[in-house]
Amino acid sequence: MERLLINGGRKLDGEVQISGAKNAVLPILAASLLTNGCCVIKNVPKLDDVYVMLSVLEELSVRVSWQRNELRLDCSRVAPAAPNPEILGKIRASNLILGPLLGRFKEAEIGACGGCSIGSRPMNLHFAALEVLGAKVLPLEAGYFVFAKALRGGEVHLAFPSVGATENLLMAASLAEGKTVLYNAATEPEIVDLAGFINAMGGKISGAGSDVITIEGVKRLGGAEYTIMPDRIETGTLLVAGAMCGGRLHLSGARPEHNQALLQALQQAGISFTYNIGDSKESFIEICGCAGRPLPLQITTASYPGFPTDMQPQLAAMLSLSQGQSVICERIFENRFRFVDELKKMGASIQLRGNCAIIDGVTRLHGMSVCATDLRAGAAMVLAGLAATGRTVVEQVEYIDRGYEDFAGKLNCLGADICRLDNFGNEKGCKLVV
């Protein structure tokens, strides 16, 4: 396993471009299976979950070629097949091939899908939604075979606004006969991006971004060209880095309207920022750090537009340095506080009570050897290391590689001192002398 070595205490300052959104590109890559044409996807972040998703598509005979951050997907030879379970098992989002394969071929076989160990992550809501359209689900020894004689639109009520279940349903219903209305749909911006891509392919989806989405099934979908939205979680992570490490960070392309819950929290914590809402070239958020220690906060994670669970560990790292007692309650995933023990090794004072963390702010964190226990937890440990005194080593950096494009490189451009060490302790991509 590779690791990051961080010399803490550097001020961050400068401008950085936000990458395309991981959670938007993964369903959009899956949606390319809906066509037998060619798709060109722009602003694709180069990160490990994307590479795994492309391997899944290649297993299904999609031909993939890169040009910088642009992907060309030739889907003319796609045929239903059961992709290698080992590849599927690497990421949770591989379950998103279910909707498009069912829509196009009326059958899909998937092995057990993987992902971060942040919770049990069942598929019941996906299946219940697809069953309304006429799908049948056969559990296999490891995974599922889902099939339908015919897919017909219907009224679907999700018991919880699951992001993945909403996405799978949008994809399957786009090639079903007739109209589907989805109630209690997830409202995340990534759902809007997926609907935008399917509509660019010739689909008829309206209402994405609200909790009622209407999908008029069409006979076939064609190829499309599409640009992925900027990553709101990368944006949020860098905002918190700026809040913890002072200086002025200008996040180009960041979409303030996608980060309202976090911006509100930062404002309450006493952190100042400015922003511009515009098209992708004009849109930005600029953060000016915090004059002193941040004020404590009470935060509960929720579905969009609530506070995102994917920003909870990073915010906890910031609040571990606040001027009082904060409480963070996690309502989306049951196992999302595994980073707490790691943060405590650095001097944080945190107690867990059920699904809440009680954080008593301390004046400083100190460098230590810690583990990235999952993707966002790993990002939180890097932020803690940047703000800490001395050296921090973050082990299992592969988790971070799954969801951030060149995380350490971007932070180094802003003035951080992060060095990557390979399995043998050799330096890779170090900016400064360690």
Amino acid at position 238, single letter: L
> Any contact of residue 309 with ligand UD1 (CB under 6 A)?
yes
279's CB contacts (< 8 A; 6+ apart) are: none
Using the rule CB under 6 A, give the single segment among 36-44, 161-169, 210-218, 379-387 that binds ligand UD1.
161-169
Give 356's DSSP letter: E
> Any contact of residue 126 with ligand UD1 (CB under 6 A)?
yes
Least distance in angstroms from the C-beta of 37 to ligand UD1: 24
# chain residues binding ligand UD1, by CB under 6 A: 22
Cβ distance to ligand UD1 smaller for residue 45 or 164: 164
> Any contact of residue 124 with ligand UD1 (CB under 6 A)?
yes
| Residue (of 281, 284, 285, 334) closest to 309 by Cα position | 334
Rg of the Cα atoms in the chain? 22
What is the rounded CA–CA span in Å between residue 346 and residue 392?
9
Cβ distance to ligand UD1 smaller for residue 34 or 129: 129
What residues numbered 5-34 form the site for ligand UD1, per CB under 6 A? Answer: 23, 26
Cβ distance to ligand UD1 smaller for residue 12 or 165: 165
CB 183 within 8 A of CB 211: yes
What residues numbered 310-329 form the site for ligand UD1, per CB under 6 A? Answer: 310
Give 380's DSSP letter: H
Out of 31, 332, 348, 400, the residue judged to bind ligand UD1 by CB under 6 A: 332
CB 135 within 8 A of CB 141: no
Angle between helices 124-132 and 163-174 (to 10 degrees): 30
> Any contact of residue 380 with ligand UD1 (CB under 6 A)?
no
Cβ distance to ligand UD1 smaller for residue 23 or 322: 23
> Any contact of residue 93 with ligand UD1 (CB under 6 A)?
yes
What residues numbered 333-352 form the site for ligand UD1, per CB under 6 A? Answer: 333
> Any contact of residue 121 with ligand UD1 (CB under 6 A)?
yes
Least distance in angstroms from the C-beta of 182 to ligand UD1: 14
For the annotated catalytic residues, the residue numbers are 116
Q: How far is CA 367 from CA 52, 79, 385, 416, in A?
A: 33, 51, 6, 14
> Any contact of residue 94 with ligand UD1 (CB under 6 A)?
no
DSSP-assigned states of every residue in 64-111 = EEEETTEEEEE-TT-------HHHHTT-GGGGGGHHHHHHHHSEEEE-
Least distance in angstroms from the C-beta of 138 to ligand UD1: 17
Tell me which residue has its CB nearest to ligand UD1.
164
State phi, psi for 176 to the nearest 5 degrees.
-85, 165
> Any contact of residue 92 with ligand UD1 (CB under 6 A)?
yes
> Any contact of residue 117 with ligand UD1 (CB under 6 A)?
no
Least distance in angstroms from the C-beta of 27 to ligand UD1: 7
Cβ distance to ligand UD1 smaller for residue 119 or 270: 119
| Residue (of 385, 370, 384, 386) closest to 338 by Cα position | 370
Amino acid at position 165, single letter: A
Least distance in angstroms from the C-beta of 166 to ligand UD1: 8
Binding string, residues 183-222; x marks residues near ligand UD1 by CB under 6 A: -------x--------------------------------
What is the rounded CA–CA span in Å between residue 122 and residue 127?
10
109's CB contacts (< 8 A; 6+ apart) are: 80, 81, 82, 140, 143, 144, 145, 146
- In sequence order, what are the beta bridge partners of 419? 5
Cβ distance to ligand UD1 smaller for residue 117 or 124: 124
Question: What is the binding site for ligand UD1 (CB under 6 A)?
Answer: 23, 26, 92-93, 119-126, 160, 162-165, 190, 309-310, 332-333
